[in-house]
Structure 1
Amino acid sequence: MKRLISLALTLNLYGAFPDWYYKVKGTTQQKQAFVEIMLPLIQAENKKLEHLRKHIIDIFNDPFYLINPKKVAFLAKIAKIYKIKNITDKKEFLKKINTVPASLALAQAAIESGWGKSRFVREANNIFGHWEYSDKGLAPKSKYDDIQINYSLKIFPSLEASIAAYMKNLNRNPAYKSFRDLREKYSEENKTFTGLAAANTMINYSQKKEEYVKLLKQMIKNNKWSKYDK
């Protein structure tokens, strides 16, 4: 265990799943190694979101922020990233800039990447199955006949970049508005927003729809990952 933790903490030096991970034998050991690698990276990205959220709050707490060019420029930059139309809309900023339950991120990472062993991960650091509408990414082995435009698997420079893109996707994509609405509700009620609760809003993440939601919840429960949301 200590060896796994040590290697997980130094993963930033590699930016990808290390070679030793693919040599792990046994289902239990594989799951343990997957969590030891992924959880610190997920938590680190959530920390960045917490820091950004606090900075946004601090700006809005300044009654004169609108006459401060640096603060206005910063809000404009973040608003563009998170698709926020009005830079004075504090509620919208806080609704979109928030953390993702670690258990949900772990479950989706495990499902979408085949526990980190899919070709998408090995060749593109693509953990969450992100596509891009171009031919610049990793070419899929087969394409859907009803999609006429070019698309490919997005290539990420590191696992951290893939996780950041995943969280940004949940925080700004219209398809996950229900996720953000529910998270805001939990926040207003001062309740912990868990992966099990969040899983109910992931119906648009996969073509499997309700079956995907069921699979996510089973993954979280079977592996007892809810403890990471506290």
Structure 2
Amino acid sequence: MAVVTQSKRFHLAVLGLLGACVLVLAGAQILRPANTVSKAPKSIIALPKEKDPKKASLEQALKGDQKRAGGKLTVSALNKTFSKIGYELDPVLDGKSAVPRLFLSSLPYDLGRMKEADERKSLFFRTLLPLVLRVNEEIKENRAKVWRLRHRLSVGLDIRAEDRIWLDAAFDKYKVKSARFDRLLEKMDVVPPSLALAQAAEESGWGTSRFTREGNALFGQWTHNPKDKGIVPQNREEGKTHRIKAFDSLSGSLKAYVLNLNTHKAYRGFRALRKQMHEKGEVLRGYELVTTLDKYSERGEEYVTSLQAIIKNNDLMRFDKATLDDDDIKHLNNPLI
């Protein structure tokens, strides 16, 4: 009986000592928590962002100017907006400033009334550059997704149903047979800003053509599809049925232009030279890529020479290294991109 009692006392003493140790350790953890990451899943809740009063005032000011101009975007309103956010071309060209995420749906309706050619060019480039960079940014994101999915499939892993649907749609969009990933990546690629801006300037008369004013048609793309929005050229020959394809926004026009260069058989040389530049680790150079676009216009080599002159005279090559800033999109016109 005495042995049993003594054993109980021993066990109680051990349990008491263990309990004290646990309390000491728990207290230490509370006072000085270990610098480790919990293995428990985290729930991340995004707090609502407060609206930037500066951006809100810009939006209100621009809408006010548009209202006074019958709902149209004016040169005066856009110049004021660019000035307020400090958006100038020289810092961008010098690599000292990123391009603001300012995506306009149309050019100012009175752009053609500007007397100073340099000012008109500056406004034209500043309006289109963010859009060109955004289209290229989306393409880069899609290319990265294709690489990820390709890798999973190559090592025998399955991909989600929605990813398979997205991949099938990408092959269809770029007119590539399924599973030909190299071919898809060759076509799903960016267009250097210098080239896109030069062609937009040439084809749209620096944003003043009837097709641009009425249908955001920057690149003069033809359509024979009766379902497409289009504008009939004034001097269209009798018996011809083509129209100039119209778009709801400048972004739509840019996306169609890039897809055209990336898929049409007439521009295989463009895609081949672009691929060579990538393989050499070079920055895509619009000035050289232009030489492959002699079939874009009936003017042929004369057209190529004209584009190269625009790129050289306006120093557009420096835009090829421009990037969008990390700030939120500045909503200045609806619909945007």
- Match 1:105 to one of 188, 196, 199: 196
Which residue of structure 2 aligns with residue 52 of structure 1?
142
Helix, strand or coil at the partner of 1:153: strand
Question: Aligned pair in 2 of structure 1 residues 131, 144: CA closer, same or farther (>3 Å)?
Answer: same
Which residue of structure 1 aligns with residue 316 of structure 2?
225
- Over the matched positions of the two proteins, sequence identity in percent amounts to 34
* 1:141 and 2:219 correspond: no
Give how far 1:74 is off.
1.6
Which residue of structure 1 aligns with residue 17 of structure 2?
none
Which residue of structure 2 aligns with residue 168 of structure 1?
259
Give how far 1:25 is off.
3.0
- Match 2:297 to one of 206, 210, 223: 206
Which residue of structure 1 aligns with residue 93 of structure 2?
none
Aligned residues: 226
* 1:73 and 2:151 correspond: no
Which residue of structure 2 aligns with residue 216 of structure 1?
307
- Match 2:288 to one of 197, 221, 226: 197
- Match 1:17 to one of 83, 100, 107: 107
Moved more, 113-122 or 126-135: 126-135
Give how far 1:7 is off.
10
Helix, strand or coil at the partner of 2:133: helix
Helix, strand or coil at the partner of 1:200: helix
Cα-Cα RMSD: 2.2
Give how far 1:229 is off.
1.1
Which residue of structure 1 aligns with residue 133 of structure 2?
43
Which residue of structure 2 aligns with residue 183 of structure 1?
274
Ranges in structure 1 where 5+ consecutive residues have no aligned partner: none
Give how far 1:155 is off.
1.2
* 1:64 and 2:156 correspond: yes
Which residue of structure 2 aligns with residue 152 of structure 1?
243
Ranges in structure 2 where 5+ consecutive residues have no aligned partner: 1-78, 88-99, 322-337
Helix, strand or coil at the partner of 1:84: coil
- The code of the aligned residue for 1:139 comes to V
Give how far 1:4 is off.
2.7
Please list the CA deviations of residues 144-194 of structure 1 after superposition, one character each: whole Å capped at 9, or x if unmatched. Answer: 35xx45211111000000000000000111111111000001101101111
Give how far 1:2 is off.
7.3
* 1:95 and 2:186 correspond: yes
**In 2, Cα distance between equivalents of 1:56 and 1:103:** 26
Which residue of structure 2 aligns with residue 132 of structure 1?
223
Q: Give the structure with the higher percent helix.
A: 1
Asked whether the 8 Å contact 2:223–2:243 carries over to 1, the reply is yes
Asked whether the 8 Å contact 1:65–1:71 carries over to 2, the reply is no
Which residue of structure 2 aligns with residue 29 of structure 1?
119
Question: Aligned pair in 2 of structure 1 residues 58, 67: CA closer, same or farther (>3 Å)?
Answer: closer
Please list the CA deviations of residues 56-101 of structure 1 after superposition, one character each: whole Å capped at 9, or x if unmatched. Answer: 111111133566433332211011111002x211111110011001
When the two structures are superposed, what TM-score results if normalisation uses the length of structure 1?
0.90
Which residue of structure 1 aligns with residue 82 of structure 2?
4
Question: Aligned pair in 2 of structure 1 residues 20, 119: CA closer, same or farther (>3 Å)?
Answer: closer
Whose Rg is larger?
A: 2
Asked whether the 8 Å contact 1:53–1:98 carries over to 2, the reply is yes
Asked whether the 8 Å contact 1:38–1:106 carries over to 2, the reply is yes
Helix, strand or coil at the partner of 2:105: coil
Which residue of structure 1 aligns with residue 66 of structure 2?
none
